[in-house]
């Protein structure tokens, strides 16, 4: 994050600020203001949220917010963010990533496994953002300096559909749909063990694991998270599932499946169970998306099949019985 990005809005003039308005949901009652901003606003860390509050660039119900304030359900939060300059170190890189759909407002990619979504320490190059800058250099940098138009994320080793906005108006329109849970997100996953029920719902709150900050976990006072699953195929020691998530918590499917005793096959963070067939990565693929396009409001449905590495796993399972 550049020094220019970290300047408070009050230092550069409010007329240039990007305004983000949040309504506090019932389940967020009592949450710290800085934490809520970090959770709800893409690309904002908790420390930067604290800096914005101290600089007077966060308002609650029209009044400047106090540091360490806790929010109440129904309150309206306004966050003023400075415009984002073009970073000097973002290198366009041509990496083959299939484009499923594109118009003047959005690009939908079929992200391959192993591709990081955005630059981070240790992954400054070879990311989807580098690809976007190479393919569409006119796409402006939005909300965070080094993550052009990224609306949502997929883990490095999760493949599948990911949406990128091509302008700020489209990004806001799409982010609102994600925040209001108007997007249908379906994944395909293979989990350990045989699930007897044909379908089910996991309703368990998720937050940072208090014992290991690198993991998420089901925590009593975490953020609400709901995962629906349907059995597609059963094997003698594994189950292939279609999974639909209502919420989009970090690692949600991986955490929830581990929570019910059926961790995702190949997951090296949750479960870590050995499997009789070599699996190159966590068996998790973002298969299907349905949302409304920014310009027309027209609903769009996109679907992508399992990539070759995961298909090979299923073929071996079927062959071995």
Q: Per residue in 82-118, pLDDT tens? A: 654 444 567 788 888 999 999 999 999 999 998 888 7
Mean pLDDT computed over 235-253: 94
Model confidence pLDDT, tens digit, residues 188-234: 999 999 999 999 999 999 988 888 877 889 998 888 899 999 999 99
pLDDT score for 48: 80
pLDDT score for 171: 84
- Tokens representing 57 are 């660039």
Q: Is 7 helix (H, G, I), strand (E, B) or coil?
A: coil
Mean pLDDT computed over 124-147: 70
Spell out the CATH class of 3-81. alpha beta
pLDDT score for 250: 86
Cβ count near 211 (within 10 Å): 7
Q: Is the pLDDT at 285 greater than 50, yes or no? A: yes
Mean pLDDT computed over 261-280: 94
CATH of 99-180, one of 1.20.1440.130, 3.40.190.10, 2.70.170.10, 3.30.2350.10: 3.30.2350.10
pLDDT score for 46: 79
| Cα–Cα dist 195/198, whole Å | 8
Could you tell me the pLDDT band of residue 304, with boundaries at 50, 70 and 90? very high
Sheet holding 76-81, edge to edge: 18-23, 76-81, 58-60, 63-64
- Tokens representing 84 are 């984002």
pLDDT score for 320: 87
Could you tell me the pLDDT band of residue 292, with boundaries at 50, 70 and 90? very high
Active site residue 23: no
Q: Is 186 helix (H, G, I), strand (E, B) or coil?
A: strand
pTM confidence score: 0.73
159: buried, middle or exposed (CB in 10 Å: 19+, 13-18, 0-12)? buried
Q: Is the pLDDT at 151 greater than 90, yes or no? A: no
Could you tell me the pLDDT band of residue 3, with boundaries at 50, 70 and 90? very low
Catalytic entry in 34, 155, 157, 267: 155
| Residue ranges with strand state E in the chain | 18-23, 58-60, 63-64, 76-81, 99-102, 106-111, 159-165, 184-192, 199-203, 206-208, 216-218, 226-234, 238-245, 284-292, 299-303
Q: Is the pLDDT at 139 greater than 50, yes or no? A: yes
Q: Is the pLDDT at 63 greater than 80, yes or no? A: yes
CATH of 184-290+297-320, one of 3.30.2350.10, 3.90.228.20, 3.40.50.880, 3.40.1280.10: 3.30.2350.10
Q: What is the mean pLDDT of the chain?
A: 84
Question: What share of the chain has pLDDT > 70, as a percent?
Answer: 86
CATH 3.30.2350.10 in the chain, residues?
99-180, 184-290+297-320
Which range (26-35, 43-52, 226-235) has the least confidence?
A: 43-52
pLDDT score for 52: 84
Mean pLDDT computed over 300-305: 97
pLDDT score for 124: 65
Contact assessment for residue 286 and residue 159, using Cβ atoms and an 8 Å cutoff = yes
Question: What share of the chain has pLDDT > 90, as a percent?
Answer: 44
pLDDT score for 287: 98
CATH 3.10.290.10 in the chain, residues?
3-81
Mean pLDDT computed over 126-137: 84
Which range (125-129, 154-158, 270-274) has the least confidence?
A: 125-129
């Amino acid at each position: 994050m550049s020094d220019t990005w970290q300047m408070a809005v009050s230092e550069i003039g409010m007329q240039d600020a990007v305004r983000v308005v949040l309504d506090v949901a019932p389940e967020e009652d009592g949450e710290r203001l800085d934490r809520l901003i970090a959770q709800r606003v893409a690309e904002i860390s908790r420390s930067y949220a604290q800096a914005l509050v101290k600089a007077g660039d966060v308002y609650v119900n029209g009044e400047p917010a106090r540091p360490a304030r806790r929010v109440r359900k129904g309150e309206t939060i306004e966050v003023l963010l400075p415009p984002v300059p073009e970073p000097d170190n973002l290198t366009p890189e041509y990496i083959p990533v299939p484009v499923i759909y594109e118009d003047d407002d959005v690009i939908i990619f079929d992200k391959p496994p192993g591709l990081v979504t955005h630059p981070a320490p240790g992954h400054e190059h070879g990311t989807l953002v580098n690809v976007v800058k190479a393919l569409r250099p006119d796409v402006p940098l939005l909300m965070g300096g080094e993550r052009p138009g990224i609306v949502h994320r997929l883990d490095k080793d999760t493949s599948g559909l990911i949406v990128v906005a091509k302008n700020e108006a489209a990004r806001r329109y799409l982010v609102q749909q994600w925040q209001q849970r108007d997007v249908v997100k379906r994944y395909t996953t293979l989990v350990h063990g045989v699930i007897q029920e044909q379908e089910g719902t996991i309703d368990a709150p998720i937050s940072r694991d208090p014992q290991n900050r690198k993991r998420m976990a089901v925590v009593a006072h975490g953020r609400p998270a709901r995962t629906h699953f349907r059995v597609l195929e059963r094997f003698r020691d594994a189950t292939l599932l279609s999974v639909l998530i209502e919420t989009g918590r970090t690692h949600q499917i991986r955490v929830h499946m581990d929570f019910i005793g059926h961790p995702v096959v190949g997951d090296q963070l949750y479960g870590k169970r050995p499997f009789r067939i070599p699996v190159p990565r966590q068996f998790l693929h973002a298969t299907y998306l349905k949302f409304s396009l920014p310009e027309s409001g027209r609903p769009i449905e996109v679907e992508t099949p399992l990539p070759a590495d995961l298909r090979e796993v299923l073929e071996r399972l079927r062959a071995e019985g």
